[in-house]
Amino acid sequence: MRWTLKPKTNTATVASLAKALNVSTVIASLLVQRGIETFDQAKKFFRPSLEDLHDPFLMKDMDRAVSRIEEALKKNENIMVYGDYDVDGTTSVALMSSYLKTISSQVATYIPDRYDEGYGVSYQGIDYAHDNDISLIIALDCGIKAVEKIEYAKTKGIDFIICDHHRPGKTIPNAIAVLDPKREDCSYPYKELCGCGVGFKLVQALASQKGLSVDDLMHYLDLVATAIGADIVPITGENRVLAYYGLVVINENPRIGFKAMLAQVQKKQLTITDVVFLIAPRINAAGRMKHGLHAVTLLTEEDPDKAMQYAAEIETYNSDRKNADRTITEEALTQIAKNKEENRCTTVVFEENWHKGVIGIVASRLTETYYRPTLVFTRSGEKLAASARSVKGFDVYNALEACAEHIEQFGGHKYAAGLTLLEEEYATFKQKFEDIVSTTIDKTLLVPEIAIDAAIDLNEITPRFYRILKQFAPFGPGNMAPVFMTEGLQDTGYSKCVGAEDKHLKCKIHKNGVAIEAIGFNLGGKYNLICENQIFKAVYTIDENEWNRSISLQLKLKDII
């Protein structure tokens, strides 16, 4: 791990903000690092308000989308809500369909089959709409690159409204409306919405025409918050507001499907991290192991007994997903070692029988192990399909674009993407991808980084300090939980390795008469650095530990040297 201490912020700005807010300079510097320099900016940060959400009609084509949907509702047209099979897509479909069903009974939902149809808008989906006399499709979390498919739909007399957040290609599809903040000709003030976020803006616009405010739509925000967390979009600006209030809904009045999924979870207050690790994998499991419509059905179910039944089924899918994930990861690691590919700048592996539904998770696991841009391929019909994951600071989407001559189709983000190619192109593509990455990547990016917000002493970690830190949540990209470093530490003599195979390090550390408990997951191998009164330094986050009904502050160690 390489430790990087963030540059010092402007001391005059920090001092002024600390005085205005009556907080320590450490807290003030954390705020300035996040672009918050005034009292009013701090107020918006610490007290997110639904009033801070932008006018949805600032998004290009929003007026056209609203007009076409209102026309469809007035004429009793059949409308199909179409979305991708991942968390962002299924929550988007659940949100849009459940809102439209409060106005019309002519609303159908469609999630493409991951294996038969693949990612995004499919010809099969369009044919299904045509066969069922559907004249309007609202596509969510997909569609921005479906140029030919939108033209095909036109020949069938079907209009499209696209709500997407992925990067557009060179040509924007000729749909009735294309809502995507990343369009170069879209001046919407916030560019980082997830697909469900774009869908919510359309719902907000539709509702405003009926005289409803965003407060009347609060109960949909549990879906939006889940999509924000699962899709790893920045939790800044508008996303921060949506995630903040979505968590309020999840914790105070969650939808019946969420209650069913969380029935076995003993957790009082869920954070965005809990949503990512407890709710999102279960929603995802349906699309990975069976069909994404199972997730939509659960998320829109209003009968508690049926919801519990659906949740139990999804729990089975999630268990199957874990087993497949574990097996394939082990096979991939064996393949890498066997082919002696550890010295490459990329990881590219292929096995035709790997489960397509979990190759994205496996790619993430391999990235954690070898820390380099990673592609995991499997067979998908007559072609090969892959999931791509990247390391912090490297744009894997751009790297794939540079290899486009060997790729049939690709799409995604800076850190995660998907692609298909012909099997005869695999070897050539693999080498080209390695060549592109090895010549463009800064080699320091191939070593995991711990970005440290501030160096502090243990005596600065007080209950008040932690209470303010908690108000920085929800945490995520663009607003990660603050990471601190302290030097000159010693163990009090009670440190020990715990857990299976002594993987974790539990200790109590002290400096200048102040002592505090600490836990270091997967740091058991570093016990020898702190035993026998050695002096060391540590990087960590701060959280609470509850034991025997007693709550105390503790450090969650990220690394020690």
Task: State pLDDT tens for residues 52-80.
Answer: 999 999 999 999 999 999 999 999 999 99
Q: What domains are defined for the chain?
A: 2-6+450-560 (2.40.50.460), 56-312 (3.90.1640.30), 339-446 (3.10.310.30)
Q: Which residues pair with 73 in a beta bridge?
A: none
Q: Is residue 118 over pLDDT 90?
A: no
Q: Is residue 175 over pLDDT 90?
A: yes
Residue 41 pLDDT: 96
Distance, in Å, from the CA atom of 223 to the CA atom of 231, rounded to the nearest integer, reads 12
Q: Cβ(394)–Cβ(446) under 8 Å?
A: no
- SS3 percent helix, strand, coil of the chain, rounded to 5, is 45, 20, 35
**For the chain, what percent of residues have pLDDT higher than 70?**
100
Distance, in Å, from the CA atom of 292 to the CA atom of 335, rounded to the nearest integer, reads 31
Choose the weakest-confidence range: 125-134, 246-255, 347-356, 544-553: 544-553
Task: Give the mean pLDDT of the chain.
Answer: 95
Burial 234-262 (b: 16+ CB within 10 A, else e): bbbbbbbbbbbbbbebbeeebbbbbebbb
Task: State pLDDT tens for residues 468-511.
Answer: 999 999 999 999 999 999 999 999 988 999 999 999 999 999 99
Cα dist from 301 to 259, 304, 460, whole Å: 11, 8, 48
* Cβ atoms < 10 Å from Cβ of 8: 11
* Cβ atoms < 10 Å from Cβ of 107: 21
Look-up of token digits 């007994």: 305
Residue 549 pLDDT: 75
Query: Average pLDDT, stretch 10-38?
Result: 96
**Reported confidence tier of residue 105, pLDDT bands at 50, 70, 90:** very high
**454 closest CA partner among 35, 18, 5:** 5
Query: Average pLDDT, stretch 98-111?
Result: 97
Distance, in Å, from the CA atom of 33 to the CA atom of 25, rounded to the nearest integer, reads 12
Write the Ramachandran bin of 41: left for phi over 0, alpha for psi from -120 to 50, otherwise beta: alpha
As given in the structure block, the two tokens for residue 325 are: 């994930």
Report which of residues 528 and 340 the model is more confident about. Answer: 528
Q: Is residue 342 over pLDDT 90?
A: no
Query: Average pLDDT, stretch 159-170?
Result: 94
Choose the weakest-confidence range: 133-142, 215-224, 255-264, 534-543: 255-264
Query: Average pLDDT, stretch 431-459?
Result: 96
**332 closest CA partner among 368, 288, 291, 306:** 368
